[in-house]
Amino acid sequence: MLRLSLVLVLSAFLALAARTADAQEKVFRYAASGDILGLDPHAHNNGPTNAMKGNLYGSLIHRRPDLSLAPDLATEWERVDETTWIFTLRDGVTFHNGNPFAANDVIYSFERQRQPGAEMATAVASIATIEPIDDLTIEVKTSAPDPTLLLNLPLFFIVDEEYTEENDGFDVALAAGAQSFVNTNANGTGPFRLVEWVQDNRLEVERNAHWWGHGDDAGNVERAIFTPIGNDATRVAALLSGEVDMMYPIPLQDVPRLTGHPDVAVLQGPELRTIFFGFDQHRDELLDMPGSGENPLKDGRVRRAFALAIDKEGIKRVVMRDAATPTGLMIAPGIEGFQEDMNTPYPFEPEQAKLLLAEAGYPDGFPITLDCPNDRYVNDEAICTAMIPMLERVGIDVTLNAQPRSLHFNKIGAPSGYDTSFYMLGWTPGSFDAHNVLQNIITLDGPGQGTWNSGRYSNPRIEELTDLIASTVDSEARDALIREAFQIHYDEVGHLPLHQQALAWGVRTDAVAEIVQRPFDDVDLRYVTLD
C-alpha cells in the first residue's frame, strides 16, 4: 500500500510538471462526445467533421462564425451572367507540404468532390463546369441559375492535385471496403496542419506558419489536441480537473453545476438544427389501425390537433431545462430564408384539439406509434415520453418506440419503406438555405427530393414553389416564394416543428480568453484565443 501511494504522489508531481511545460506553448485541449468520421475533405458530410476539415483545408469562401461569407482562397468573385461566375484566386498560397496553390487544384478538387460516391458532392451539385482562365482566375458555370452557389462554397474544400495524385488518392472511399490515404492524412491550405490522428483517441494539429490569414481577426492557438470522450461524466470531470480547456456538449443536468464553478464558463446558444415531428400522409391505412382502411393523419384537422395538443413551452421548461427555443418554422434563425414573423409556434390549446378531432370524426381518438431516437438529439427520448400524456389528454393513444439512431433512421427512412406513422427527426440545412429543407423534407417529386420526407407530405403548390426557389436569383422575389411555401406548410401542418435545441459548451476561463460559439456544435480553431 505504501508503495502504491508513493506512485500516486510521484505521478501527481509528474502531471503538474507536464502542465507547466504546456504553458510555454499555446496549447488548446478540447473534447467532444465523439470523434470525427474521417479527414477526407470530400467524403463525409457531418458537422463536426466538416469543422475539423475547415481547420486543415481552405475553400474558396470562408464562413465566419456569424454565418457571413468572407474571402478565403478566392479574393474576389463576380457574376458575369445568370449562370457564370468569375473567381480571382489568392496569390502566393502554399499547401502544408509547400506545393503552390493554383487554379488546377480548384478544378481537380471539383472533379474529386463531385464523384457519385462523395457525400460532399451535394455542395457542388449545381456547378456544371469550372474552367481556368489563367493560373489565378477561374470561370464557374452552374447548370441553372443558382442563388445558393456562394452559400455552398465554404464546403468546397481544396486539395493539392500533385500530392493527391502522388498518393493515388483521387477516388473518394466512404470508409467502407477500402482504405483511403486521403482519409487519414491531410494536406490543405488551412490555418492548421495535421500532426497526428489516432482514431477515437487524439487528434493533434499545429499552427500553419505559412497561412495567409495570420494577423487578421484570428486567435492565437499554436497547437490543439482534440480528444473524443464519450462518457458524459468523464468529460465533465476532465473539464473540472483542467485537463481539457473546453468540452462539449455539457449534459443538461450538469449545466447549473458548471455555471457555479469559478473557473468554468458555460456558453449556451441556439443550434441551427430544427427538431420536428412528421406524420404519415401517404398510406391509405394507418399502421396502428389495421383493417380500418383509414388514415386519420391525411386529414389536416387531425394534424393540427396534434400540433395544438403539445405543450412546447412545457417541454422547453421541464424536459430541456430551458435549453431550447420553441419554433413554428422548419428552419432556424440564421438560415437564409428565415421569416421572423412566421416563427410563432402552434398555440397550446388542448380543448381546441379535442374539438378538431371530433370534427374530423375521431372524438375518441385513435392509436398511434411514435418513433423516436434515444441517442441522437438532446433528451430525444425524454421529449417523446413527455408527449405521451399530452396526446392522451386529447384522446390519442400513443405507443412510444424509442431506439438507437441506427435502428431509428433505418425504420423511418427509405430502406424500410418509411415504416412509420409518427416520428421525430432533426435537420440542419447543409447550405444554410431554406431550399435545402424544402428539397429534402417537404417535397417529393424530382430527383434528390424528399430524401427524408418520411411521411411523404406533398403539396403541388409547394413542389412548384420549390423548383422556382431553386433558380430564382433575385433575393426579394425568392423570399416571397419561400414565405408562400412555408405558409402553406404551416397551415396544412405538413410537419410539426418543435424547437431548436441549445448548444452547451464548457470552457475553462483560466485557460481560454475567447472562444466563438458558432450556431452549430463544433469548434473553428482560428477563433480561439488562449490566455
Partner 1 sequence: MIDFIAQRMIQAVFVMLVVALISFSLFQFVGDPINNMVGQEATEAQREALREQLGLNDPIPIQFVKWVGNAMQGEFGISYRMGKPVDQLIAERLPATLELVFLSAILALAIGVPMGVYTGLNRYSWLSRVFLTISLIGISLPTFLIGIILILTFGVWLGWLPTFGRGGTVDLGGWQTSFLTLQGWSHIIMPAFTLALFQLTLIMRLVRAEMLEVLRTDYIKFARARGLKQRSINFGHALKNTLVPVITIMGLQIGALLAFSIITETVFQWPGMGLLIIQAIQFVDIPIMSSYLVLVALFFVLINLTVDLLYYAVDPRLRIERPGPAH
Please report, as ranges, the residues that interact with partner 1 according to CB under 8 A: 4, 7-12, 14-15, 18, 37-38, 44-46, 116-117, 119, 122, 173-180, 183-184, 198-202, 227-231, 233-234, 237-238, 240-243, 375, 403-407, 409-410, 413-415, 427, 430, 436, 440, 448, 451-452
Burial of 190 (0-12, 13-18, 19+ CB in 10 A): buried
- Report CA Rg, the chain: 25
* CB of 118 or CB of 493, closer to partner 1: 118
* CB of 51 or CB of 309, closer to partner 1: 51
CB atoms within 10 A of CB 106: 24
Secondary structure of 386-425 in HEC code, one letter for each residue: HHHHHHHHCCCEEEEEEECHHHHHHHHCHHHCCCCCEEEE
* CB of 291 or CB of 417, closer to partner 1: 417
The Cα–Cα gap between 366 and 41 comes to 48
Query: What is the identity of the amino acid at 428?
Result: T
* 80 Rama class: left (phi>0) / alpha (psi -120 to 50) / beta: alpha
* CB of 8 or CB of 209, closer to partner 1: 8
* CB of 142 or CB of 183, closer to partner 1: 183
Rounded to a whole number of angstroms, the minimum distance from the CB of residue 273 to partner 1 is 10
Rounded to a whole number of angstroms, the minimum distance from the CB of residue 371 to partner 1 is 13
Rounded to a whole number of angstroms, the minimum distance from the CB of residue 487 to partner 1 is 25
Rounded to a whole number of angstroms, the minimum distance from the CB of residue 136 to partner 1 is 32
Rounded to a whole number of angstroms, the minimum distance from the CB of residue 423 to partner 1 is 14
The Cα–Cα gap between 38 and 42 comes to 10
The dihedral formed by the CA atoms of 175, 166, 160 and 448, expressed in degrees to the nearest 10: -40
* CB of 262 or CB of 448, closer to partner 1: 448
Q: Which residue has the cell 418506440?
A: 401
The Cα–Cα gap between 277 and 376 comes to 14
Say if strands 512-515 and 528-530 run parallel, antiparallel, or are unpaired: antiparallel
Please, which contacts does 388-393 make with residues 24 or more away whose CB atoms are closer than 8 Å? 390/309, 390/310, 390/311, 390/314, 390/350, 391/306, 391/309, 391/310, 393/309, 393/350
Rounded to a whole number of angstroms, the minimum distance from the CB of residue 272 to partner 1 is 13
Rounded to a whole number of angstroms, the minimum distance from the CB of residue 445 to partner 1 is 15
Q: Residue 138 forms beta bridges with which residues?
A: 87, 132
DSSP single-letter state for residue 99: P
* CB of 228 or CB of 334, closer to partner 1: 228
* CB of 291 or CB of 447, closer to partner 1: 447
Rounded to a whole number of angstroms, the minimum distance from the CB of residue 176 to partner 1 is 5
DSSP single-letter state for residue 318: I
Helices 475-492 & 300-309, crossing angle to 10 degrees?
90
What are the distances in angstroms from CA 145 to CA 435, 470, 481? Answer: 14, 8, 16
Q: Which residue has the cell 443558382?
A: 146
Burial of 331 (0-12, 13-18, 19+ CB in 10 A): buried
DSSP annotation string for 278-302 = EE--S-SS-TTSTTS---GGGSHHH
The Cα–Cα gap between 235 and 38 comes to 22
Rounded to a whole number of angstroms, the minimum distance from the CB of residue 308 to partner 1 is 29
* CB of 4 or CB of 209, closer to partner 1: 4
* CB of 133 or CB of 237, closer to partner 1: 237
* CB of 123 or CB of 353, closer to partner 1: 123
Rounded to a whole number of angstroms, the minimum distance from the CB of residue 119 to partner 1 is 5
Rounded to a whole number of angstroms, the minimum distance from the CB of residue 177 to partner 1 is 6
197 SS3 class: strand
* CB of 40 or CB of 72, closer to partner 1: 40
* CB of 176 or CB of 209, closer to partner 1: 176
CB atoms within 10 A of CB 265: 15
Listed in sequence order, the residues at least 6 apart from 242 whose beta carbon sits closer than 8 Å to its beta carbon are 19, 263, 508, 510, 511
Rounded to a whole number of angstroms, the minimum distance from the CB of residue 117 to partner 1 is 7
Rounded to a whole number of angstroms, the minimum distance from the CB of residue 49 to partner 1 is 9
